[in-house]
Structure 1
Amino acid sequence: MPVVAHLWDPPRVSQQSPSLEIAPAVEIYYDPDFDLWPTSSAVPGAHISLSGDLTDEQIGSVIHAGLHWFYYDDEQHPAATIEEYLGRAANREAEGTEIVVWGGPAFADTSTGVTMMPGCCVAFGERDEVYDFLAGRSAFAYLGHSPDTGLAIDADQILITQHDDEDRVLATIECPRDQLDAALAVMESEIEAFLAALPAWTTRHVPNHATALIEAITEGLRLSALIEKETP
């Protein structure tokens, strides 16, 4: 049964599709002068999709994206060494700060090429709002702004719609609910595969700070419920 179209519904950019993919997209911090470990060249607003097959440069960019809050001191002086940089991150609890990684689910209909990237000002861990919405615990899921992505449920169908700041429709994707659930499960497995690749990367590039760095990035990427479950 397709999603029922009402008079106020947006026009469909894609047809109902069994080709939904959801990638865990991390927004990369644009810092062309950073050289404490290998990173990918990036432009402002670029994203990297997490997986277990990223290059050392891509992994390095994801890590710097999560920790860059600690790279500069109060006077905006960058850390001169890895020890100084990661030392600041390790002291985050004493300073009352947290690891925040920008990004979230990137929706794609592979049969039409329709793609919806995460909006601005959404933290990676906030994807738990999608699960709350699907479970009926919340009336909506926040997925950032500029653009704004929304989810709607009608029976066993999901409608994903993305709008610009003037509420104009940029794209829509419609799919069965079970396909959305399956795509979300794949997304979570890609995140876990990325985390599983971190120990080898830290051995190569920051062997003296491996444990602290892995804990910090895990804090920024995993859902809060998973972090709490693993905390003694």
Structure 2
Amino acid sequence: MITLRPVLEVPGDEGFALWPVAQTGWFLPLDGSLSPAEIGSAVMAVAKACSPRAAEGSPPPAGDQVEAFLHGMLTAQRVSAFGGLSLEDSLTGVSVDPGCCLALGEWRGWFGLLEGTGAYLGHSPSPGSELVDGVVRMTADTEEADSPTLDVPVADLRRLLAGVERDLTDFVGAVSDWAAHHAPSRASDVVAVLARALDVPVPSPS
């Protein structure tokens, strides 16, 4: 069975105590079924990546440690949630993971694979794609001569990409409940920022 999942890079959480976080691998798959601690890890990862890019002239609020930690994410002009899409064949064990320096919010670039125009998939590893007779052949690392490949019919890949959008949309919906509990004063802002960073619609207020 071939699966395609949106995954977020999650750095180490040593010493982090603003809210509960989970022990995750380097890549955390995102969907609506994540536990509150896993959602906490995801929000922590995005906020950590944004912390140096807070808006100039807008210092973090004094006295509120949670809002101070989220300040960079909430004020940055552009928020990047690093990660990408992970393709895996459970029967063969072959997987194609995103490379470095890739934002998960660029996931819609995969639609270019359906047309044969390709997409940037990161580096080190450097995944690649080729469209041949209605089949997208994905290579795990184009820099390796014997890198494994995985073939996905165009129709199947289109269906899998629709599933990616559902997963990300459901994740943002789950963040809404999480933020209402852990960052109530900025809950709607946290949800809106993450939705934009993941290139899915901002949910309507409940």
TM-score scaled by structure 2?
A: 0.85
Q: Measure, in 2, the Cα distance between the counterparts of 1:123 and 1:70.
A: 13
Query: Secondary structure of the equivalent of 2:119?
Result: coil
What amino acid maps onto 1:152 in structure 2?
E
Which sections of structure 1, spanning at least 5 residues, go unmatched? 1-18
Which one of 80, 83, 86 corresponds to residue 103 of structure 1? 83
Q: What's the counterpart of residue 24 of structure 1?
A: 6
Residues 60-139 of structure 1 correspond to what in structure 2 (within 5 A)?
Answer: 60-71=40-51, 81-93=65-77, 98-135=78-115, 139=117
Show CA shifts across 1:96-124 (max 9, x none). Answer: xx111111110001221212221111111
Greater relative contact order (Cα 8 A, min sep 6): structure 1 or 2?
1
Residues 1-232 of structure 1 correspond to what in structure 2 (within 5 A)?
Answer: 19-42=1-24, 46-71=26-51, 81-93=65-77, 98-135=78-115, 139-163=117-141, 166-222=143-199
- Equivalent pairs: percent with the same residue? 28
Q: What's the counterpart of residue 59 of structure 2?
A: none
Q: Measure, in 1, the Cα distance between the counterparts of 2:115 and 2:2.
A: 20
What displacement does 1:70 show? 4.0
Q: Measure, in 1, the Cα distance between the counterparts of 2:174 and 2:13.
A: 23
Which has the higher Rg, Structure 1 or Structure 2?
Answer: 1
What displacement does 1:28 show? 0.5
Query: Secondary structure of the equivalent of 1:199?
Result: helix
What is the RMSD computed on CA atoms of the aligned residues?
A: 2.4
CA contact (8 A) 1:199 1:214 kept: yes
Specify whether residues 87 and 20 from structure 1 end up closer, same or farther in structure 2 by C-alpha distance, changes over 3 A only.
same
Q: Measure, in 1, the Cα distance between the counterparts of 2:141 and 2:53.
A: 37
Aligned residues: 195
Q: Deviation above 4 Å: which 4+ runs of structure 1?
A: none
Show CA shifts across 1:193-214 (max 9, x none). Answer: 1111111111221111101111
TM-score scaled by structure 1?
A: 0.76
